[in-house]
Amino acid sequence: MNVQRAYQTAMDEIAFSETELHRLQQSLHRASEEQEEFQLTHTIQKNHVLRLLLIAALVLLVAFSAAAAVRFFVPKKLSDELQLNISSLQPVVNLSDAASGSVTTVQKTQYTNGLVITFEAIAKGKCFVENSWQSANGGNVEDESTYAIFTIRSEDGSPFYGNQDGKDFTQPYQAPNFGYNLLLEGYAPNPSALIDHHNIFNYEENNVLYKAYDITDAVPFADKHPYIIINDGMIVSPDIMRIDKDGEFYFDEHYTGIRAMFDLNLNPALADPAKQAEVLERDPLFTYDEIVALFAEEGRSYDNYTPLVFNEVIDEDGTEPATAQ
């Protein structure tokens, strides 16, 4: 039996009837008309309110200009300086959370392929500004998950998505994917062990692309020196990422795609051996045959792939993986 064809045939029977489709169109016409009426009324009211506000602002400006002039010469408070350090995160993170220590700032930058990639901070999902990440990505940011936040800029300042409001990222054929992988010191690179079931969130403002990568499963490994890799390939594999004799990761010299590697620099006190074991005991990831078959289906070759799995620990000489105990 051809599974794909059987699935397609069965799914084809899930359909709107002609009547249902017509009803849907009618209800959308009504909604569109109501929305136009609302916008028209709202614009008239808004213009009226704006005029009143402008007059009030002018009166206030005249009344307090002397006091305002004095205030400009008052030295900045410490809290203001702290806010300046995290101002680059203003569009995506609540500054009050950052000031209270719920957001750990990192601010390390790397340059690759005409891009400036800055690892800005680590933050819980609950610290995110709702109107940015969540409206742009469908509201799936998890409050208790931990995210590594990056800003990515083009060196020439050009936008990444260039759409009408910078908030739509569903463009499957253009901008780089900016995939990510997490690596642990002493462990061989693995396709997806620590990022399975995790999302990437996007937000673009003023040609700066903000990315939030879920690193929740890396946190329990805080004592294992986790790194985050940003690349435009599908999977971190030996043809992209190599390990030297000291166990240090580095990008293969022949790999020319987007590449940036940052030390997550997590507090070792966050290490959790029980959770580490839980992650290690997950289902096996790709086998070599599975990944080759997947690539072949898409007309791509993956000849250089060497099957390395997460629970393989690099031997002391730093070259050959051995199974973890």
Partner 1 sequence: MEPFTGKDIDQIVEHNAQHMLRAAYAVLHSNSDAQDAVQDAFLILLKKQPTFRDASHEKAWLLRVTINIAKNEAKRKRRFADEPPQETAAPESGEDVLSFVLQLPEPYRIVIHLYYYEGYSIQEIARLLHLPAATVGTRLARGRKQLKTMLEQEDAK
Rounded Cα gap, residues 136 and 146, in angstroms? 19
Catalogue the E-assigned strands of 142-234.
146-154, 179-184, 200-205, 208-214, 226-231
Among 68, 84, 277, 294, binds partner 1 (CB under 8 A): 294
Rounded Cα gap, residues 7 and 238, in angstroms? 36
Residue 93 corresponds to which tokens in the numbers above? 């993170």
| Residues within window 156-175 making contact with partner 1, judged by CB under 8 A | 163-165, 168-173
Minimum separation from the CB atom of position 173 to partner 1 (A): 7
Task: Indicate the residue among 140 and 256 with the shorter CB distance to partner 1.
Answer: 140
Among 36, 130, 244, 278, binds partner 1 (CB under 8 A): 36
Residue 245 corresponds to which tokens in the numbers above? 């004799």
Minimum separation from the CB atom of position 151 to partner 1 (A): 17
Of 196-204, 260-268, 270-278, 307-315: span binding partner 1 (CB under 8 A):
196-204
- Tell me phi and psi for residue 253, to 5 degrees: -65, -20
Strand, helix or coil for residue 65:
helix
Task: Indicate the residue among 6 and 56 with the shorter CB distance to partner 1.
Answer: 6
Q: How far is CA 181 from CA 113, 119, 194, 287, in A?
A: 19, 14, 8, 18
Minimum separation from the CB atom of position 108 to partner 1 (A): 21
Task: Indicate the residue among 223 and 252 with the shorter CB distance to partner 1.
Answer: 252
Is 143 one of the binding residues for partner 1 (CB under 8 A)?
A: no
Going by C-alpha positions, the residue among 94, 168, 103 that lies closest to residue 128 is 94
| Residues within window 198-257 making contact with partner 1, judged by CB under 8 A | 198-202, 234-236
Is 41 one of the binding residues for partner 1 (CB under 8 A)?
A: no
Minimum separation from the CB atom of position 300 to partner 1 (A): 9
Task: Please tell me the number of Cα atoms within 13 Å of 292 on its side-chain side.
Answer: 8
- Which long-range contacts does 153-162 make (Cβ < 8 Å, 24+ apart)? 153/115, 153/116, 153/118, 153/207, 153/208, 153/209, 154/114, 154/115, 154/116, 154/207, 155/111, 155/114, 155/115, 155/116, 156/114, 157/207, 158/207, 159/204, 159/207, 160/204, 160/207, 160/209, 161/204, 161/209
Strands 312-314 and 321-323, by their bridges, are antiparallel
Is 20 one of the binding residues for partner 1 (CB under 8 A)?
A: yes
Minimum separation from the CB atom of position 126 to partner 1 (A): 17
Minimum separation from the CB atom of position 235 to partner 1 (A): 5
Minimum separation from the CB atom of position 181 to partner 1 (A): 7
Is 290 one of the binding residues for partner 1 (CB under 8 A)?
A: yes
Task: Indicate the residue among 98 and 201 with the shorter CB distance to partner 1.
Answer: 201
| Residues within window 266-285 making contact with partner 1, judged by CB under 8 A | 283, 285
Task: Indicate the residue among 197 and 245 with the shorter CB distance to partner 1.
Answer: 197
Is 259 one of the binding residues for partner 1 (CB under 8 A)?
A: no
268: DSSP letter: G
CB 271 within 8 A of CB 223: yes
Task: Indicate the residue among 112 and 190 with the shorter CB distance to partner 1.
Answer: 190
Residues at the site binding partner 1, with contacts judged by CB under 8 A: 1, 3-11, 13-16, 20-21, 24-25, 27-29, 31-32, 35-36, 137-140, 163-165, 168-173, 177, 179-181, 191-192, 195-202, 234-236, 283, 285-286, 290-291, 294, 298
